[in-house]
Amino acid sequence: MATPTFRRRHKIHFSECDPAGIVFYPQYFVLFNDLIEAWFDEMLPEGYHGVIGGRRVGMPTVRLEVDFTAVSKMGDEVWLSLDVERLGEKSLTLAWACTGADGVLRMAARQTLVTTSLETHKSIGMPDDIRRAIETAMAEGDQA
């Protein structure tokens, strides 16, 4: 099995759960957006905030496919991972996974992001430095 491009360990918090005591499914989207931010923070000197706030380059989701396969409960230790499936001229497709410390897949998703100008909200070519950083991260994931 290939090593994911980026991953982080996470402990499920009370605030992420619903009254049934399991992760409320929209919280996964927050967790994975946080993971993308952490990934960009490691890849680029100005980090995610600098890309969005400073450079005004947006990366909205244009497609999202999700499968929920097992529950996660408060206190569970999980691995959140993302892998780059496709790097296009103006878009990026990521595969996400939330896997328990026990190795059981909890949820998986495919997300397509498109690079946009936050001034015009139109798609733009992916900036060269972002593309290079993603290519480097992909290559490092392949070697791990």
57, part of any domain: yes
CA atoms of 86 and 73, how far apart (whole Å):
32
Residue numbers of the domain that contains 115: 6-143
110, part of any domain: yes
14, part of any domain: yes
55, part of any domain: yes
**How many structural domains does the chain have?**
1
127, part of any domain: yes
- Residue 82's domain is classified under what CATH number? 3.10.129.10
1, part of any domain: no
Q: pLDDT tens digits for 112-141?
A: 999 999 999 999 999 999 999 999 998 887
Each residue's pLDDT tens digit in the chain (144 positions)?
A: 456 789 999 999 999 999 999 999 999 999 999 999 999 999 999 999 999 999 999 999 999 999 999 999 999 999 999 999 999 999 999 999 999 999 999 999 999 999 999 999 999 999 999 999 999 998 887 655
Say what the pTM is: 0.91
